[in-house]
Every structure is written in structure tokens, then in C-alpha cells.
Structure 1
Amino acid sequence: MRVTFLGTSGAVPTTERNPSALFVNRDGDKLLFDCGEGTQRQMMRFGTGFAVDHVFVTHTHGDHVLGIPGLLQTFDFNDREEPLAIHAPAGTRGTIEDLVSVTGDTPSFPVRITQVSAGDTVLDGDGYEVRAIRTQHRCQSVGYAVVEDDRKGRFDREKAEEELGIEPGPKYSKLHRGEPVEHEGRTIQPEAVVGPDRPGRTLVYTGDTRPTDSVVEASEDADLLVHDATFADDWAERARKTAHATGREAAEVAQEAGAKRLALTHISTRYGGNPTPILSDAREAFDGEVFVPDDGRRIDVPFPDE
């Protein structure tokens, strides 16, 4: 699972930070979370490509959706034929439809708009799901969790070969699939050579939100939590009034959830090119790895046991 931060600014872009967008390559499936103005240029600049089949919108404030018309037009110019699904919070279909048709042209490829609510399984992928989670902002909003299925346990080849006398071959595959095999007059059960299931990875992207119990729950043991951290403590009251979070509040969510890594995004222009105050506050409240990504930063999310 590879994550590219395409836009990490708050509502107003800066020369260093674009409005919100996050690109996730999950074993070849390309997922785009939010699509602020200029996202298509960021995709070109940072080499993600345009092979996106699903766009997940957290809410319809302009800094999260104004990139949609341009991206669709680029898809058209590239003679796209594959359908595109845009997922957005319940009650926002009309806004998304307006964005799709704002130029007066109809895309030459199918565009499917789905409205989602907290608790919905938005996408049932191959070996993973994308789930909508409840967030708290000034409008209809959701966050999203990419949750992988458990993986098969480790196969103990040494035990299979040396202790049980099973030569490498089809029997190994059957045992790893959870099927018993017959060997030298006895039945070998899978658990004899296959360890317990291993957890997959979890990535949570909140969009704009106050700290909420629902995000804590969705982020339990998450491998990466990408959380709104618009302000440092010096603007905590502003964060409350505008339904955003501070770096410290995001860190408290991550700490309570037991997340492994925390990325702080949606950085206010008040901090210019120096988000150190936000990061410093967060480090006081979170024991794990915490960082403020620059636009274009690309990270790999390892499996929990790696």
C-alpha cells in the first residue's frame, strides 16, 4: 500500500501546499481521496498517473472538490472509456452532479455518483474494503477507512519438510489454503504447519473534522491515520468554531486508538511554510511516529508484522 500526499493545505492553497487530495495505490487499485483544485497537476507532478476508478469525497467544501471538473476534462482528453465512481456524503449528489457538468459537456465515459453514510461499506475490493466513518464538520461529511482482510498465517516449511516429511509441492498449497492432506497414511491438518491469521493493514483518512469517538474506533491499531490538524494550540478556539482539529487533538485521537503512524494535514496558511508548532504539540500527545507531510511525499504502509 503506497500513499502519496497530493494536497496538504487548508482551505487556501500556498506556493508549497495544494488543497486536499490523497492518492492511495493499494496493490494496483488506485484510489483518490478528495480532489482539491489542481489535483490533476499534482498527479502529473508526482507521478501517480490517472488510472483512478474511485474518488472518495469527504465533504463538498471547495478545497476538497474543485479539482473534479478539471480531472474529468483531462480524462476526456485522454479518451478514457472506463467508468468512474465518485462517492460522496448523503445529501450531496446535486453538488457532485453540478461539478461533473459545470463545463456544459457530458463526460464521454460513465460517471457513477453514490451517496454514502457512516457505517457503509463503500467499496468491496479484492482483499480489502473502504468504509465510511462518521466525522464532525460544518456540513455533511464522512471519513474513510481502507481495511484489508486478514492474511493467511505463515507456512512453516521447515516443520513440514523435516518433521512431517512432506516434500515441497501441491500439498503445501493445499495446507496453506486451509485444507488437510493425506501423507504416508495419516491426515495432516493445516494448523500443524500454518500459523494463525495475520492482520492486514488499515489506513484512515478523516478529511476535515473535530476529534470524534467514531474516528478513534475506526483507527484502532491503524497502520496510518491521516487526520485534520489545521491549527496548533494557539488557535484552538478557532479550531472549535470552524469544526477542525489541532495537532494535539489529532495526536490524542491517534494515541487513544493505538495508531502506529499519524500524518497531520490540512495545514492552515497561518503557519506559512513552518508547521513546527502543530507538529510540536502533536508530539507531546502521541507516542508513535507523527509527521507533517509535504506535498508529494510518498510513503509505503507496511504490514503490521513487518
Structure 2
Amino acid sequence: MSLLRLTFLGTSAAQPTLHRNLSGLAVKADADLLLFDCGEGSQRQMVRYGTGFSVDAVFFTHFHADHYLGIIGFLRTLGMMGREHPVQLYGPPTARRVLHQAVHLGVDALAFPVEIHELKDGDVVRRGGYSVQAVGVDHRINALAYVLAEDERPGRFNVEKARALGVPEGPSFGKLQKGEAVTLADGTTVRPEDVVGTSRPGRKLVISGDTRPCASLVKASQDADLLVHESTFSDDEQERAIETRHSTAREAARVAREAGARRLILTHLSSRHDTDPTKLLVQAREEYKGPVEVAHDGLTVELPLRD
């Protein structure tokens, strides 16, 4: 997988504002386009920010209305565009009941298949070159975080060493890079480990969904390239955060610090912080010394390959 790009479609908590839409995150993973949550208005944001509509799968963190109601209109739009191949929908238990209602709302049946899957903590969805793992988190209802983990990447191919060993350029180079041994004209066998370095770790993206800070998320976020964590409230709203099972910016930053995450992006902001999230950013930076920023609608981030 070469491309891993995030586009924040909505960064507001509970209700849309003039500047922020409801929860939605588009992730381009090479040829795949994934959505993580699909709040009301997400499809308009996809048009606005140019993500395209060729969505392969939607992963719902939970089924509070602000995180999933946008799927109703989005599926209808796909139908009007002539979609024929299936859309995969994933979410925690109640997904089959809730999403079945959403899919079949209205008079006209969809002209393409919609396949609904329920996930629990630890379940893994395998896709080409990467996986998406469900992680149980602490919210008012059954909720999941998701870990998108790229497969381990092959080591670097040493062209000069291959030439020195007498490997002819062309198909033989390709075989060695794929892990296949090559026999030379003189009968010598060159093995992949002779010319290919050690495997390199893939990238790791963690998306918290709505949650209190919890041990399961810290564990899942170990050494993540990026942790996208909700930060609905500030320090002076701590009681409200506990009551509603959300996190403050400081708590999100503590999760990132304890997990050793390489980067933190805060999202899912209360309308109190709609236009000026400075307080959230300051409090997070007091707790976590790595790169941290507050997401805004339309923010696009590409995660570079690990060396």
C-alpha cells in the first residue's frame, strides 16, 4: 500500500455548526475508499472536499444518530449514480437491526447489494494489503474504535549487490523482490535474503470514535503513526465528559502519550469550541509532547511510509 490519506468530513460533536459538520472521516487506502462514520451531510462534504463516492466499506463506531444518519441519503445517491457492486457496512452489535432499517427506508429498493456485518472487540477485517481491527471502547452504548494496520512491507532491494552477484536485470530482480529464489546460468542460487533487507513495519492509524479514555484504546494505539481521538470537552468540562462518556483534550493527549503514538489529531468538538479550539490545543500540548493539532472540516492528511 503506497497511499494512506485521511479527509475529515465532519469534526463537530452532537450537532452541526456553521463551520463543522457531523462525524465523518474518509480514508483512501490505495484503491480503496473507506468511511469511518457517516453523519448527516457527509455526502455533501465528500463533494466539497473531492473524495469521490466510490466507497468500498463504511465502519461505524456506534449508533448515536450524529454518527450514522448520513448513510441513508448516501446509499440513495449511490443508487441514482448506477452503482451495481456491493457496499460493505460494519459496526458493533445492533448494526444489523439499525442499518437494515436505514438501508430499507423509503419506497424504492436499492439496485445494488448492501452487506451488513457486526463486529465485536478483537474482530479483524482483512483487505488488500492491510486490515481493520475493531477495539471495544467506553461510551454510553456499545461502541468501537478502529485500527487500520498496513501489512509489513518488504525490505529494500539492494540493486548493486544483486548485480555484483551476477543477477541479470529484469524478471529475476522481480522474483527476488517477491521472495522467490533465482538460479543463475552457472547454477548459483541467489536467495531473497541475499539482496533484500529486513522487512519494514507498515503504517498504523487509530480512530477512537466516541469514548472515555480507556486501557483498550491505549493498548491498541501503541506506536501508532496517527491517533485520531475525540476531544469533546476541555478541562473545565470534566464532569460533563464523565457524565456523557466522552473525553477532554487533555485525556485524549494522555492516551497518545501512554501509547507512544507518533502523532495526535483531536476531533469531535463541542460547539463551545467550534470557532476557537485554542484551549483544547493548549491543554493537549501540556500532556503530550508529540505533534498535535485540532482537526477542521476538510483537513487532509497523508501518512508517509515508514523507513
TM-score by length of 2: 0.95
The answer on 1:182 being equivalent to 2:180 is: no
Quick one: distance in 2 between partners of 1:108 and 1:16?
Answer: 35
Conservation of the 8 A alpha-carbon contact between 1:69 and 1:103: no
Query: In 1, Cα distance between the equivalents of 2:208 and 2:237?
Result: 20
* Equivalent in 1, 6, 26 of residue 23 of structure 1: 26
Query: Structure 2: which 5+ runs fail to align?
Result: none
Matched with 1:33 is 36
**Match of 1:242?**
244
SS in 2 for 1:244: coil
Shift in Å, 1:280: 0.8
Give the CA RMSD over aligned residues: 1.3
Number of corresponding residues: 303
Alignment of 1:6-21 (within 5 A): 6-21=9-24
AA partner of residue 252 (structure 1): R
C-alpha contact 1:5 1:295 (8 A) present in aligned 2: yes
Q: Secondary structure, in 3 states, of the residue corresponding to 1:284? A: helix
Structure 1 residue aligned with 2:224, among 215, 222, 225?
A: 222
Q: 1:114 aligns with which of 117, 121, 143?
A: 117
Residue 164 of structure 1 aligns with an amino acid whose one-letter code is L
Q: Which residue matches 2:166?
A: 165
Query: In structure 2, what is the equivalent of residue 143 of structure 1?
Result: 145
Secondary structure, counterpart of 1:4 in structure 2: strand
- Equivalent residues in 2 for 1:1-306 (5 A)? 1-121=4-124, 123-161=125-163, 163-183=164-184, 184-305=186-307
Unpaired runs of at least 5, structure 1? none
Q: Classify the secondary structure of the residue corresponding to 1:231.
A: coil
Q: Does the CA contact (< 8 Å) of 2:20 and 2:274 recur in 1?
A: no
Residue 185 of structure 1, CA deviation: 4.1
Alpha-carbon distance, 1:139 to partner? 0.4
Q: CA contact under 8 A between 1:59 and 1:88: conserved in structure 2?
A: yes
Q: Which moved more, 1:218-227 or 1:41-50?
A: 218-227
User: Structure 1 residue 287: deviation in Å?
Assistant: 2.0
- Percent sequence identity is 51
Q: CA deviation at 1:188?
A: 2.3
Q: Distance in 1 between matches of 2:303 and 2:235?
A: 29
One-letter code aligned to 1:176: Q
Structure 2 CA distance for aligned equivalents of residues 293 and 272 of structure 1: 11
Matches of 1:99 and 1:152, distance apart in 2: 42
- 1:11-31 Cα shifts (integer Å, max 9, x gaps): 111111000000001001000
Q: Is the 8 A contact 2:95 2:117 kept in 1?
A: no
Q: What is the CA–CA distance in structure 2 between the aligned matches of 1:284 and 1:204, rounded to whole Å?
A: 22
Aligned AA (2:280): I
CA distances 1:78-105 after superposition (whole Å, capped 9, x unpaired): 1221211111111332122222223243
